Structures are given as C-alpha cells and as structure tokens.
Structure 1
Amino acid sequence: MKLRKVTAASAVVLALAVSATACGSNDKDPGSSGGGKKIAIGIKFDQPGLGQKTPQGYSGFDVDVAKYVAKKLGYNEDQIEWKESKSADRETMLQRGDVQFIAATYSITPEREKKVDFAGPYLLAHQDVLLRADDDSIKSPADLNNKKLCSVTGSTSAQNVKDKLAPKANLQQYPTYSACLTGLQNKAIDALTTDDSILAGYASQAQFKGKFKLGGFKMTNENYGIGVKKGSDLKAKINKALEDMVADGSWDKAVKANFGPANYQNEPAPKIGDIKS
C-alpha cells in the first residue's frame, strides 16, 4: 500500500516536470513553432520609412523585414510583440532577453559584435546628406564648407563630416530629425546628415514629397544587421529567412514601398556575412 502511494506521487512529480520543461523550451526557442506563443521583436518607433509606430500600427522597412523573418520562424503577425529599441538600449535588451531579435537600423560593428550576434546584413546604407530639391549649390561633401549642417543632438554624423570632409562646415544640433527637416525646409539650415536610409524614410513622408533630395555622397558604409543574443541559434535561422526574402522578391518590394517616394538609390541586397568596411 505504501509503495503504491509513493509511486503515484512520483508519477505526478514526473508529469509536472515534463510539462514545465516543455513550456520552458518553447519560450526559449521562438524558431521551433508558433503554437500560440508570442515573439518579442525590437524596432525603432520614431523613424519613418524604417520603424514607426502609428495609430494604424507599425510600418517601415525594418518592420517589413521583421515580419517576414517572424513568419519564417513560425509566427503570425498577431503573435508579434513590438518593443521600442532605442539605440542606447539595444545590447541590454538582447542580453536581458527582453526581445528575441532587433531590427532597428542596427549597424554591425566590431564593438557591438563583442556583446551580441548579428544575422545579415540585410541592408547596406551610407552616411549621406539631405538637401532641398531646388538647391544645386551642394554637389559634393566639400561643398558643405561654410554651410549650416544639421544632425540630431548626440549624433556623431555631422562631426564626422567636419573632421574628415568639410572642416569649415557650420554644425547645427537639433533635438530631432523632424526639427532638422523643418529647418531645412525653412532655409535655416542647408543640409541634414545621417544614414541615407533614414533620410529617405523622412523625405518619403507625404508632407515632404518632392521637397527634398539625397546628395548621394556615400560617405560611410552602414551594414544593417538583425541583432540576437550572443550564442543564439536564431542567427542561422534568421540568415536563412533573409536569403529567402531576397530570393522571392519580398526584399525589393519592401524597399520600393518604404523608400520609393524619395528616389532612394539603394544598394543591391547584400550577401549574408558580407560586411563592407
């Protein structure tokens, strides 16, 4: 009698252990199956054309890439939990497990690769300038000398131009890219600098259509990757998804949908692991 009681109790403990293990493994491996689970993905909430939160939902090239990858991992759009990933928070969010992956204009650099792993790259962007559509006075980086050059407070983009290309540029720091755009439109500044993809996203907004143009200077290479936690097996799965996105034409479609109105002359889709220095 006593033996049967112990055996029954052991069976209950074993069943609970198996159940807990099964739940835990699903939570930690978003690529195994959708199965009603959620996947947390980090994006920018304030970059038109790339990652933007709107009353209608989330939109942008990074969002389209993230949705495609999530689907390949077995998740429908309604199973995605979008989380804002500000530039300074991205490594910490991945290390803590707040998100499974981040697609947020996340340039692959040696310093960042010490902390997180990257799938991709999925876009090769370049530092560029945005100009008024009717301004023909700035045709090369050297023409930025004695011009008012804007970037957001805390950004190194404008300083890079002054240090390396146009030492007499008059740097102007504004709190947001939108403020820089207003200054550019009102002729309070002459040019705005950051990644060309970000500039194209802002210029593609309906209220700015036809008012701005990209300089096309390609001053740096910015290899956008999808960040994952160090050692995560998601890296290989995401790389395969990115290859599929290019192969089936979804990548080109997303580029045209999000950057087209700014006449963004994008680079071809990069090969996985091909980091341009």
Structure 2
Amino acid sequence: MSDRYSPILRRLVVDGTPERAFLAFVNGISVWWPKGFSANGENLTRVTIELTPGGRVFETGASGAEISWGSVTDFEPGVRIVMAWWLGLTEAAPTVIEVVFAPALDGTEIGFIHRGWGNQNVGQHGKFDAAEGWDRVLHAYRDYARWHAARVGPDTTTTIIASRRLWIATEAVLTPVDIRFFLPLPADGSWGCRYEIDWPERRRVFTMFGADGVQALYLAMSMVGSEVYGSDYHDDGTLMFDRPGAGYGFPVSANDRDQLIGHDRQFF
C-alpha cells in the first residue's frame, strides 16, 4: 500500500486502562460505531472485529447480510490493532488503520493513524479527515469508553477465571497449548467472555457474547472445544489433555458432537 500522501493522525485520551480501552474498542464497536458510517445506515445491527490474524472486519444488517470493511493484520491486546481498511473505499485500493493504546495519567492515550493513501484512493482522503469523518467516530468511541469504564467498576479485563493446558506430542517433544478464560463482562445488554488459545503458530483471541455471564462463559468454552476438535493437531492425533484419545474436557456446539472422543463423548 502506497504512502505517497500524508496519513490522517488523531490523538485522544479515553477513560480506563489500555487493556480496558482496547476491549471497549474491539468488543464494544457494535455499540459505539455511528450507524451513519456504515453501508446499512439505520439498519445496521452489528459490527464485528474477528480478533485473530487475518480476521474479518465486517458489518451485519437487519437482513443478516454481511458487508466487509477490512481485515485484521496485526494486534496485541491492550497495545495496538492494525487493520487493512476499505470501508468507504474499494477493496482493490485499501488503506491501513492502526490504533495504539498507551497508559496516560488520566486514562489511556489513543494514537490513531489512517495511512496507505495512494493515487487510487486519495480522492476519499478528505471525507475521512473532516470533522464529520474520523473525529465523529473517535468521539463516539471516547464516550463509550467513559461509560464502559464507569459501568464495569474496578479493572477486571485481565482477570483469568479458568485455564487449561493441552499438549501436542510429536516424537519426544511435548509442546504446551495454554487456554485461558477471562471474567465475563457486561457489554450493553449482553455479556462477553474473552478467551485465548496459545497455538504454536499464533495466539487466538476471541470473545463470545451471551445473555449473561454464565451463557457467555459456556459459549466461549464451546467455541474453544469446536476449535480444538477442528484443529490439525486433533486430526493428526498429536493433541491431548492428560493422555491421548481421552478428550480435552470442553463442550462443543451441537454440529460438532459427532467428533467427540474419550471422556468428552461420555460427558458432553
């Protein structure tokens, strides 16, 4: 992506720690994103950032149809997120958005960079740089971050409530696969439960939403189970919990129950 033209730069301070501000940005985007900045307008029902390398960024309208905005190219929770971006542009001439989260005396300083402007897309530069462009979007995020920080109380965004270590056994080498579940938190009428899976090639981070904390946690556990059973390590028989073939101790979605092995088949 070209950098022939000046990037759009913004700085602002939001309430909460960098970890909390990051989660408010990613997990709360359906709440704070202005509907006018979408293809569906008032019919916008959800915005999703799939927090994994190559994860999709997209909107969902009232009809259920999805419209792509971009993709996640890099991220570090509580530190930064980088996305290829083509909302308001064309996918053939995307730009890059980078959002950086840094501790500040009175909250978190947000560094916002919209770069990658070239001859094919610079004609749209002005609408993003205008007061009704990114300024409006970021002010909406700042207001939501303030509300979110006040509602959840003491910072619990990094509180791990459960963890499990699986193993990949290849010849004489055991490679750990650590799985962590974080405290479910309220998110504008629903609850979100974040989880992480440390696969050897990458860290998978995602959040599942439910009607309350219990449902969000159960859905997160089920998603982990489906991902574990859908992994190449399960398929080649190298993945295990306490012993090969005994299962992993996670529920799965109804569509994946025919894949269960060992104790998982008995209990789930």
The TM-score, its normalising length taken from structure 1, stands at 0.25
Larger radius of gyration: 1
Higher relative contact order (CA 8 A, sep 6+): 1
Structure number with the higher strand fraction is 2
Q: State the TM-score, normalizing by the size of structure 2.
A: 0.26
